[in-house]
Structure 1
Amino acid sequence: MTRRGKQRVVTDRLGIHAEAGEWCTIDKIPQPPADVLEDADNPRLRPARMPLLGMVGAVLGAPFIPVITFLELLAKIESAVMRSLDTKEEKERWRAKKEDEKRRDATITQQGLDKVFDGNWHGNAGQFLLRWYSHSTHHQRMLLATQEEIVLAAPPQRVSVGREKHMQIVARIPASEATLVDPFSGEFETRTLLIRFRDGSWLRVETEELRSDLHMHVLRQSRTDA
């Protein structure tokens, strides 16, 4: 079944009509100040540990890591050799790509997008982040965009397999309170999206797929609003 087919099955089971959706993760939550933690009743700030089945899989896969690393190194060497044989036009495209990456990285630094949120624990994003793993101890979220709200779904507890099977809605954010934003306005192919709250605070998520359906949905919405 295709990714979109799986998504339709999931949304039907959840009883919602989503215009786009994608699995996403967040970076490590920084340690909040003591008073913030106390006010929030000392919430969980980390996902649950990998289940036993996942740990067994990781152990069994460990011997192959050096092989994979070696193959990746060979691929990089091959790529470098092929680039040296590129035509003038291909080399120009490569340089343009590297320049785009530099501009993207500069934007990330300027806007603080290397952080998981805007840094204000008392803002809406900071308060929502404090409850992230109280909603579910799974390390991923299915982020779904509907006309009325942003929906986050996940298994209640962390799983290593069958995430769609165990998934349920763990949080809802009305469209009047937050919107999805591509901080690069579609200029670069990235996995980054922001949940931007009406008070200006934001929370960064990283999608599994590069320039996912969610990115394209956000881009279409921005063009419609313009």
Structure 2
Amino acid sequence: MAKRKVQRRARKILGEEPVALVWCEIHKPIPTPPKDIHRAAGKGRLTSRHHWSWYAAAVIFFFVVVPVILIDTLGRKLEKTMSGADRGRRSGPPPAPPEAQRSGRGRAPEDDREPDPANGVFDGDWNLTAGQLLLRWYSHSPSPKRLVMLARDRICVAASPRRRMSPTKADDFLSVTEFTLEQARIEGEAGQPRGYATFRLCFADGSWLEVGRLSEPEDADHFLRTVSC
């Protein structure tokens, strides 16, 4: 549950007690926008900025762990190759493959579905409200986390300027954007499995944006119960 200072900060921004609030993130990679649209929106970041420890761990992984894995894998393959060649000399040529294999029968059917260019993140139109919000998602904060707050007459999206933050303790978040209930609504279902719960910000122009990774179970459950009523 969000601490008192988070609730106090939310009241200060909204000017009233929030009906519900929850920390959330874009739970899938942001798709790549067209270059001209990205440029017109300020060419902002589309990924979060990692802490320095992440880069240190990445360097260690690629220059220490990866070479060890490659050497081990190469050694295993070489051992199998030599072992297979030895068995081949002893047992003679392998039997011919069955007819079913030669004719290609038994293969799994190919998936003809076309990939979703929006990756299920939003409706796919970068010029509408959801797309424009997505283009500026990281311009206000390097952290992927956003606080969505419901008031009686509006929806407020806020962010903390810090790269690393605790959803229960962060009290330095600022309002990023607000929407009246005529401009936007939230669609979500109560009782979703913990860790997989999502909801959508749906806008009056028909666009939508889906978020997940809801922090703090009590806040998330209350938020989803509120929006599903």
| Shared fold (TM-score, shorter chain, > 0.5) | yes
TM-score (norm 1): 0.62
2:225 corresponds to:
216
1:65 corresponds to:
none
2:15 pairs with 1:31: no
2:179 corresponds to:
173
2:41 corresponds to:
40
Q: Deviations over 1:24-82 (max 9, x none)?
A: 010321110112112222122122222x4x659x89xx9xxxxxxxxxxxxxxxxxxxx
What SS class does the counterpart of residue 139 from structure 2 fall into?
helix
**Where does the alignment leave 5 or more consecutive residues of structure 1 unmatched?**
63-110, 221-226
Higher helix share: 1
Paired residues in the alignment total 165
* Percent of residue pairs identical: 29
TM-score (norm 2): 0.61
What is the correspondence of 1:1-226 to structure 2 with a 5 Å cutoff? 2-3=1-2, 5=4, 7-16=6-15, 17-26=17-26, 27-50=28-51, 52=52, 55=54, 115-161=120-166, 164-182=170-188, 185-186=189-190, 188-189=192-193, 190-206=196-212, 207-209=214-216, 212-220=221-229
1:103 corresponds to:
none
Q: Distance between the aligned counterparts of 1:120 and 1:187, measured in 2?
A: 30
Shift of residue 118, structure 1, vs aligned partner: 1.2
Q: Distance between the aligned counterparts of 1:155 and 1:37, measured in 2?
A: 23
Contact 1:178 1:197 in 2 (8 A): yes
Q: In structure 1, what residue type is equivalent to 2:174?
A: Q
Contact 2:200 2:208 in 1 (8 A): yes
User: Superposition RMSD on alpha carbons, in Å?
Assistant: 3.2
